[in-house]
Amino acid sequence: MKKAFPWHIVVFLAPAVIIYSMFSALPLLDTLRLGFYTTNDAGVHRFVGLSNYHIILFDSDWSTAFWNAMWNNLKFFGIHMLLQNPIGLLLATLFSLKGLRWARTYRTMIFLPTLLSVVIIGFIWQLILSPLWGVGEKLMGFVGMANFFAPWLGQQSTALITLALISVWQFIGIPMMLIYAALLAVPEEVLEAAHVEGAGAWRIFWQIKLPLILPTLGLVTILTFVANFNAFDLIYSVKGALAGPNYSADLLGTFFYRTFFGYQAQIGSPTMGAAVATLMFLVILLGVAVYFYVVQRKLTRYEL
């Protein structure tokens, strides 16, 4: 007997698949397609092959800005990897210690900035670091370092690093929570056994806990990568679309925004914007591919 067509499966799947396809998957594909076109004044698309990419990567008007944004983005990511994830690991390790009091309170307090809009965070730090209001200078004065205070957000040499530190401060809650959850999943018997064998807390951490949470650290790395190469809100709300001074805080996200919508005298171009988005997509894809082929494979081998 032939079964009736399973309509219920279609009905269960359809809403999610339709909305996801229409507003996420297909626009992404269409953006990749648009990168090969150019628009004339009448708004008609014309196929131009790789010419947009050639302009972005090699025409000095564009390439300087693009490579500057790319390089800044790499630094931005580097600072997150050096600070956000190790500090997140440290904090998670500390309050996952058994029987620690107020662990929940600490967790909540440290996670709070992660919940807030980047717009708010950006402004708070602008206030603190502004020489006018002087809260930052005053605070440094308490520890006798007022002389070292500088308008970090406004200087070309320090703007990017300062913004990266603000971003680290805000988003540390995410690696912290993920690592915390992984640490809780470490089987109690293993730790007890190690303890009975005479291993100290330090050794238990390095030789048992850390190896067991490696998959989570890999996940945290790739999440940081994707988030950083897609960052926009903080730079835009603190520095505007120009990511000044002199583009020193420009990331791929702000570069994309300017290309798409234009700024000052330059007119925005959807097709050029699409080409920039495609390049960002390739960078993110490369990161995800490295994660799956290198990190995941190594981890499976490790588990064996």
Partner 1 sequence: MTSSNLTSSRSFSNIGRIWVHIVLCAYAIVALFPIALILINSVKSRDAIFDNPLAFPTLDTFSLIGFEKVLTNTNFILYFGNSLIVTLGSLVLIVLFGAMAGWAISEYKFRGSRLMALYLALGIMIPIRLGTVSILQLVVSLNLINTRTALILVYTAQGLPLAVMILSEFIRQIPKELKEAARCDGVGEFKIFFRVILPLIRPAIATVAVFTMIPAWNDLWFPLILAPGDDTKTVTLGVQQFIGQYATDWNSVLAALSMAVIPILILYMLFSRQLIRGLTSGAVK
Q: How far is the CB of 287 from partner 1 (least distance, A)?
A: 9
Q: For residues 29 and 52, give the distance between their C-alpha atoms in angstroms, rounded to a whole number.
A: 17
Q: Which two tokens stand for residue 43?
A: 């708004």
If binding is defined by CB under 8 A, does position 288 make contact with partner 1? yes
Residue with tokens 């056994």: 193
Q: Which of 120, 286, 294, 299 forms a contact with partner 1 (CB under 8 A)?
A: 120
Using CB under 8 A, which residues numbered 215 to 254 contact partner 1?
A: 222, 226, 230, 232-233, 236-237, 253
| Contact between 145 and partner 1 per CB under 8 A | no
Instruction: Give the position of tokens 């931005």.
Output: 76
For residue 44 the two structure tokens come to 């008609």
Residues 108, 91 contacting (CB under 8 angstroms):
no
Helix (H, G, I), strand (E, B) or coil at 250: coil
What span, in angstroms and rounded, lies between the C-alpha atoms of 151 and 245?
Answer: 12
**Residue 139: CA count within 13 A, CB half-sphere:** 9
Among 64, 117, 156, 207, binds partner 1 (CB under 8 A): 117
**Using CB under 8 A, which of the segments 53-61, 78-86, 90-98, 294-302 binds partner 1?**
90-98
Using CB under 8 A as the binding criterion, the count of chain residues that bind partner 1 stands at 90
Q: How far is the CB of 84 from partner 1 (least distance, A)?
A: 13
Work out whether 127 is an interface residue with partner 1 (CB under 8 A): yes
Window 94-113: residues binding partner 1 (CB under 8 A): 94-95, 97-102, 105-113
- Closest to partner 1 by CB, 247 or 273: 273
- Whether the Cβ atoms of residue 256 and residue 249 lie closer than 8 Å to each other: no
Of positions 50, 82, 145, 181, contacts partner 1 by CB under 8 A: 181
